[in-house]
Amino acid sequence: MLLHLAAALALVTAVGAYFGGAHTALSAALGVALCAANLWVMRRITRGLMAAEGGSAVWALALPVKLIVLVTVAFLLVHSRTALAFPLALGFAVLPLTSVFLPQPSSVRGRA
């Protein structure tokens, strides 16, 4: 997972720098970092929801909070002109799109 993140970060930074310069590269890299943080939080929430000891109501409340924080951070990055909107969105999409090419865990193989 960490190798995938590093490869995606290097890829979008290099492509962004080649096509649009440093600001585009930074925007795309911030998109990858934002996506990685979002996926990490989603993983934590999912584990909390699936836990046998209960507490799922608290984790269920964390879902809308996570979404609001994600949109707020993206808005502030674009509004403050730290990041450009389109490269940020493309960077955000790179991790989920490239994960299609990763090997599936054995617990997922064969399920439709």
Q: Report residue 10 as tokens.
A: 């290097």
Compute the average pLDDT of residues 56-69: 87
Average pLDDT of the residues of the chain:
85
Q: How far is it, in rounded angstroms, from Cα 69 to Cα 89?
A: 16
Q: Are 31 and 23 in contact (CB under 8 A)?
A: no
Range of 17-21, 58-62, 98-102 with top mean pLDDT = 17-21
- Model confidence at 41, in pLDDT bands (50, 70, 90)? very high
CA distances from 61 to 24, 48, 49, 54, 65 (A): 35, 11, 10, 14, 7
The residue range of the domain holding 94 is 2-101
In a domain, 16, yes or no: yes
Compute the average pLDDT of residues 23-51: 90
In a domain, 109, yes or no: no
Q: How many domains does the chain have?
A: 1
Q: How far is it, in rounded angstroms, from Cα 38 to Cα 83?
A: 17
Report the pLDDT value the prediction gives residue 4, as an integer from 0 to 100. 78
